[in-house]
Amino acid sequence: MSSPAHSFSTIIITGASSGIGKAYLQSLLQNGSQATIINLSRTEPKGLDLPDSFFHLPCDLSKPQEIDWAADKILSLAYGKPGRWLLINNSGFGSYGPFPEPNLSHTLNMLDLNIRGLVHLTAALLPNIQQQGGAIINIASTAAWQPTPYMAAYGASKSFVLQWSLALAAEQKEKGIQVLAVCPGPTESDFFRRAGFGEAPLAGWGQTAAQVVDATWNALGKGRTLVVSGFLNRCLCALSCRLPKVCQAPIAAFVLRRMRLNAMKSRNANV
Ligand SMILES: NC(=O)c1ccc[n+]([C@@H]2O[C@H](COP(=O)([O-])OP(=O)(O)OC[C@H]3O[C@@H](n4cnc5c(N)ncnc54)[C@H](OP(=O)(O)O)[C@@H]3O)[C@@H](O)[C@H]2O)c1
């Protein structure tokens, strides 16, 4: 197996039931990983030939008590097993519409998952990762690089993931723990349907989940703390953060408003 993920004996993934998380799982299985792989999501990954070393822990990561339960289970599954740990914090969802659409509780649930859940699970597993050695991968987004009107809370939640991840990387470096923030751009998955878009706005610049996974393993192998997946996405992020702060939101609003109009048009056409 060429991927640096080969060097871990325990791998915890959140959200391997779908999309990018499932692509991480597929990549590990295809490359013959011998690790104990533990997935945390509400539903089980389907359509894969899963080995005995794979465990699914049904868990809603927006609920603190379920995270505590899952963390205890992980510790017992990995008990006494030597080797490094890899934690991939991938679970997350977006929500599309002017705040507070579709409603406040949906938005708060998104923040609970995208921010609180990720911080909580990392804190619960960090002592073991430090003891055994290892790495943490946090899935942020290109949405983290500027304000995202019509996805305001989602973009802000991913800014948190990005900034927190980079800060954690600096803290953990001296302990030998690599922390990597991954920023995918628009990627083929269930994300857009769940976020309330009519159709995924991928035309011409979307990536596959497998491309995001390849970019991740590449960055992990090079000891990086940040990767933006895809050349065009890297250009857009570089451009976006060079714009004056006050210009970023109006430009993003123009782009995201058009996506909303297109989504509404395609929804109406399908009625
Ligand atoms: N696709 C994109 O364009 C894109 C771009 C940038 C960043 N991202 C980020 O990439 C990550 C993966 O998204 P994706 O594109 O693969 O979307 P996806 O296909 O919708 O997958 C989302 C995953 O998150 C899990 N999840 C959702 N709610 C959960 C909860 N309450 N508890 C536990 N797990 C939960 C889902 O599992 P269950 O439903 O089984 O619980 C699923 O496995 C997210 O953090 C997303 O923000 C995606």
Query: Looking at residue 29, which CATH number applies to its domain?
Result: 3.40.50.720
What is the distance, to the nearest Å, from the Cα of residue 196 to the centroid of all Cα atoms in its chain? 18
State the pLDDT at residue 257. 86
- In degrees, to the nearest 5, what angle opens at C-alpha 257 toward C-alphas 268 and 138? 105
pLDDT computed for residue 258 by the predictor = 82
Tell me, using a 6 A CB cutoff, whether residue 90 lines ligand 1: yes
Q: What is the pLDDT of residue 250?
A: 95
CA of 15 to the centre of ligand 1 (A): 6
- Give residue 1's pLDDT: 46
Determine whether the shortest distance from the Cβ of 206 to ligand 1 is under 6 A: no
Whole-number Å distance between alpha carbons of 218 and 50: 25
pLDDT (0 to 100) of residue 230: 97
178 lines ligand 1 (CB under 6 A): no
Residue of 269, 271, 232, 237 whose CA lies nearest to 252: 237
- Low-confidence residues in the chain, pLDDT < 50: 1
Q: What is the pLDDT of residue 3?
A: 78
Distance 229 CA to ligand 1 centre (A): 16
Domain total in the chain? 1
CA distance 87 to 14: 8
In ligand 1, the atom with minimum distance to the C-alpha of 189 is: 19
Task: Calculate how far, in angstroms, residue 93's C-alpha sits from the geometric centre of ligand 1.
Answer: 5
What's the predicted TM-score (pTM) here?
A: 0.96
Contact by Cβ (8 Å): 166, 226: yes
Contact 114, 154 (CB under 8 A): yes
For residue 148 and ligand 1, the question of a CB distance below 6 A is answered with: no
Report the distance separating Cα 215 and Cα 228, nearest Å. Answer: 8
Task: Please give the single-letter amino acid code of residue 245.
Answer: K
Alpha helices in the chain (DSSP H): 19-30, 64-77, 104-111, 118-132, 152-173, 191-195, 209-221, 231-242, 245-270
Q: Which candidate, 106, 182, 180, places its Cα nearest to that of 141? A: 182
* Residues whose CB is less than 8 angstroms from the CB of residue 125 and which lie 6 or more positions away in sequence, other chains included: 12, 71, 74, 85, 87
Per the structure, the complete domain to which residue 16 belongs is given by: 4-270
